[in-house]
C-alpha cells in the first residue's frame, strides 16, 4: 500500500478528507503517520480517532530551520512514507527535509498568487477592492524552501460570485482543496503502484 505521512499544524480538515477517502477505499493509500509541529493541533485528534500514529515535533528554543528539519526527518523516516503531504503545515521546510522525501503542498490560491498565510482572506479583500474576481487552489511539489511555490500538480480556479459572503467563498475554496488534494494523492499512488519495481 502507498504510504503517506501527513504534516499538519491546525484543524486538519484536509487530513480528514484523506483519511475518509482511504477508509472508503477511494484512495489506494494509507496514512502511516500524522506529524504536527504544534501539540494542540485538532488534526491530532482526527488522527487518533482514525487509529493513525501521531508524532509531535515542536521547535526547540533557538533551533534553526536546518536543525529542526533534521529532527523532522528522524521522526518521519521510521514510517517509510512514499509521499509526504503538507496539509495545513505552517512551517517553511528546507532542503534538509524536502531533499529527503517526495513532498507535496496544498495552497488555497492559484499558482504564483498570494503565497503565505491568509491567502483566502487576502483574495477576498482584493475582490472587495475590485482588484480580482476569483482565486483558486493548487497542489504542488515542494522542492526547496520557496513558500507555496514549486512544480504544479493540479490547480483549479474558484470564482467569486456576486452573492458570495466571505464564508461562502471560503467554503468553496476548502471544498475544492479537499477534492484536488485527494485527487492528486490518488494519481500519485496509482502511478507509483503501476510502476515496475
Ligand atoms: C488550508 O486552507 C490549507 O490550504 C492552508 O491551511 C488550511 C488548512 O486547513 N495551508 P486544515 O488544517 O486542513 O483544515
pLDDT in tens, 7-50: 999 999 999 999 999 999 999 999 999 999 999 999 999 999 99
Q: How confident is the model at residue 194 (pLDDT cuts 50, 70, 90)?
A: confident
> For the segment 109-125, what is each residue's pLDDT rounded down to a tens digit?
999 999 999 999 999 99
| Catalytic-role residue among 107, 118, 140, 174 | 107
> For the segment 63-76, what is each residue's pLDDT rounded down to a tens digit?
999 999 999 999 99
Active site residue 118: no
Residues with Cβ within 6 A of ligand 1? Answer: 10-15, 43, 87-88, 106-108, 177
Look at residue 115 in the predicted model and tell me its pLDDT: 95
CA distance 185 to 187: 5
Look at residue 195 in the predicted model and tell me its pLDDT: 64
- Report yes or no: 112 and 33 within 8 Å, Cβ to Cβ: no
Architecture of domain 2-192: 3-Layer(aba) Sandwich (3.40)
pLDDT at 196 over 90: no
Amino acid at each position: 500500500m502507498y504510504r503517506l505521512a501527513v504534516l499538519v499544524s491546525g484543524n486538519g480538515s484536509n487530513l480528514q478528507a484523506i483519511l475518509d477517502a482511504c477508509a472508503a477505499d477511494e484512495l489506494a493509500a494509507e496514512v502511516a503517520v500524522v506529524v504536527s509541529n504544534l501539540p494542540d493541533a485538532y488534526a491530532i485528534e482526527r488522527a487518533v480517532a482514525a487509529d493513525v500514529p501521531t508524532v509531535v515535533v515542536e521547535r526547540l528554543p533557538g533551533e534553526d530551520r536546518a536543525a529542526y528539519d533534521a529532527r523532522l526527518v528522524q521522526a518521519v523516516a521510521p514510517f517509510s512514507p512514499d509521499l509526504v503531504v503538507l496539509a495545513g503545515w505552517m512551517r517553511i521546510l528546507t532542503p534538509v527535509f524536502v531533499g529527503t522525501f517526495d513532498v507535496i503542498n496544498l495552497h488555497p490560491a492559484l499558482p504564483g498568487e498570494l503565497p503565505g498565510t491568509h491567502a483566502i482572506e487576502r483574495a477576498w479583500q482584493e475582490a472587495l477592492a475590485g482588484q480580482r474576481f476569483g482565486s483558486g487552489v493548487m497542489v504542488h511539489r515542494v522542492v526547496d524552501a520557496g513558500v507555496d511555490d514549486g512544480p504544479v500538480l493540479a490547480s483549479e480556479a474558484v470564482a467569486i460570485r456576486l452573492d458570495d459572503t466571505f464564508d461562502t467563498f471560503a467554503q468553496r475554496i476548502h471544498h475544492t482543496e479537499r477534492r484536488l488534494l485527494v485527487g492528486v494523492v490518488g494519481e500519485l499512488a496509482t502511478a507509483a503502484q503501476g510502476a515496475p519495481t
